[in-house]
Amino acid sequence: MKLFDVYPLYDIEPVKGSGSKLWDKEGIEYLDLYGGHAVISIGHSHPHYVKRISDQLNQLGFYSNAVQNSIQEELAEKLGVISGLEDYQLFLCSSGAEANENALKLASFQTGRKKVIAMKNAFHGRTSGAVATTDNPKIIAPFNADHQVEFVPLNDVEALTAAIDEETAAVIIEGMQGVAGVFLPSEEYLLKAEKLCKENGAMLILDEVQSGSGRSGKFFAFQHTDIKPDIIPLAKGIGNGFPVGMVLIAPHIKPWHGMLGTTFGGNHLACAAALSVLEAICEEKLMENASQLGEWLTAELELISEVKEVRGKGLMIGITLDFEAVELRKKLLFNHKIFTGSAAHKNTIRLLPSLAVTKEELSQFLEALKIELKH
């Protein structure tokens, strides 16, 4: 059998990882500043992560959501403390798209409505509702195209005010737009979106799948603004590579048995993985590291003349150049062995390193960048 060929692949096969380093089959070392799409939060093969998952596997790897599972309770408790959202409720699933799918479904259940307002250039995943709220017609199949979704430009208060009405189930906004190229919702926009949702009885969904888990320097990127979303989908970094998705749900939304469900979500291994991530973030002060190094790197990048703009918070950084980034990214990878990320915005390089990356590792990137820009 052949693989279904949907991914353009680099001719590199990492076989080992530690912290922000990867090694391929030939033993060549790479610096990973992309974390396999923002997934590696505490570092590759983090010893606490490996131990927590191994211990759990030796105890019990899986049972379904039909029985008591105290490790889920422990996870909900720790997540409440670290995020400061102790009064929220937690639904566990296995991916970012699944988290968004459930978030949209919850908003629809809660309001009895169908219409969703999403942002231009948004990416929310590839399942039915998630892809319908993703602004990329190429990946929307006819089967997914009948959802009632209206796209408005991010940060355009007037457009949102005009679009929202009493038929709106939800407004969905990324904590920071990732795939687009790291574009941030303004404080004013988030405050207004919250207000408009309240006035119209719609749910505010903050998709923190990419920007959450401490990456912005706070646990959620929206927490740089004083808002309380109704629903918060989370995935990627919370599992550090183990497939974990989550939906944090405000206390006013009431569950009923059978409302949502999944076979794999919240399984014992997934909970052990997520707990080890939360523990490492606290123990190693990784949110502080993300804040400090993000600020430092941004200041260094802004000194480079070819860099037009640096956007982001913490260790989610979009570097916009005055030319298309594709060749430069290849040179960083093949000449300097550094993984970076692309973006829908072609002149942008996306950096999503582990939150435990060091100043030395980021300096290595700066040096390589300057060499390729012929400084």
Sole binder of ligand PLP in the list 53, 97, 160, 316 (CB under 6 A): 97
Rounded Cα distance, 63 and 267, in Å: 6
Smallest distance, Å, CB 70 to ligand PLP? 26
**Which of helix, strand or coil describes residue 234?**
strand
265 lies in the site for ligand PLP, by CB under 6 A? no
For residue 1, the tally of other CB atoms under 10 A from its CB is: 3
Q: Which stretch binds ligand PLP (CB under 6 A): 28-36, 94-102, 251-259, 338-346?
A: 94-102
**Using an 8 Å Cβ cutoff, are 80 and 236 in contact?**
no
CB of 232 to ligand PLP, least distance (A): 12
Instruction: Report the residue number, 76 or 221, with the smaller CB distance to ligand PLP.
Output: 221
CA pair distance 264, 249, nearest whole angstrom:
19
Judged by beta carbon, residue 40 or residue 368, the one nearer ligand PLP is 40
**d(Cα 258, Cα 92) in Å, to the nearest integer?**
14
Give whichever of 124 and 218 is closer to ligand PLP, judged by the CB atom.
Answer: 124
240 binds ligand PLP (CB under 6 A): no
> How far does the chain reach from its first CA to its final CA, in angstroms?
49
**Among the listed residues 32, 26, 31, the one whose alpha carbon sits nearest the alpha carbon of residue 13:** 26
Q: Is 178 in the site for ligand PLP (CB under 6 A)?
A: yes
Distance, CA of 144 to CA of 133 (rounded, Å) = 10
CB of 158 to ligand PLP, least distance (A): 25
The alpha carbon of 143 is separated from its chain's Cα centroid by a whole number of angstroms, namely 26
Do 222 and 209 form a contact (C-beta atoms < 8 A)?
no
CB of 73 to ligand PLP, least distance (A): 24
Q: Which of 232, 235, 247, 273 binds ligand PLP (CB under 6 A)?
A: 235
Q: Which of 83, 95, 128, 240 binds ligand PLP (CB under 6 A)?
A: 95
The binder of ligand PLP chosen from 37, 78, 336, 370 (CB under 6 A): 37
Nearest to 352 by CA among 211, 247, 142: 211
* DSSP helix/strand/coil, 43: coil
Do residues 348 and 320 make contact, with C-beta atoms less than 8 angstroms apart? yes
Strands 89-93, 21-24: parallel, antiparallel or unpaired by DSSP? unpaired
Enumerate residues 6+ apart whose C-beta is below 8 A from 67.
none
Which of these ranges, 58-66, 112-120, 122-130, 185-193, lies near ligand PLP under the rule CB under 6 A? 122-130
CA-wise closest residue to 39 among 49, 29, 28: 49
Part of the chain binding ligand PLP (CB under 6 A), chosen from 4-12, 123-131, 261-269, 343-351: 123-131
DSSP 321: E
In the list 32, 101, 135, 207, the residue contacting ligand PLP (rule: CB under 6 A) is 207
Options 31, 209, 232, 274; binder of ligand PLP; rule CB under 6 A: 209
Q: How many CB atoms lie within 10 A of CB 158?
A: 10
Tell me the closest approach of the beta carbon of residue 95 to ligand PLP, in angstroms: 4
Interaction of residue 41 with ligand PLP, rule CB under 6 A? no
Nearer to ligand PLP, 97 or 343 (CB): 97
| Contact between 101 and ligand PLP per CB under 6 A | no
The Cα-based distances of 47 to 55, 160, 174 in angstroms read 12, 46, 31
- In the set 124, 311, 313, 329, which binds ligand PLP (CB under 6 A)? 124
Q: Looking at beta carbons only, is 173 or 307 nearer to ligand PLP?
A: 173
Tokens (6 digits) for 48:
């606490």
User: Considering only residues 210, 213, 347, 354, which one is a binding residue for ligand PLP as defined by CB under 6 A?
Assistant: 210
- Smallest gap from Cβ 106 to ligand PLP, in A, equals 16
Residues that bind ligand PLP (CB under 6 A): 37, 95-97, 100, 123-125, 174, 178-179, 207, 209-210, 235
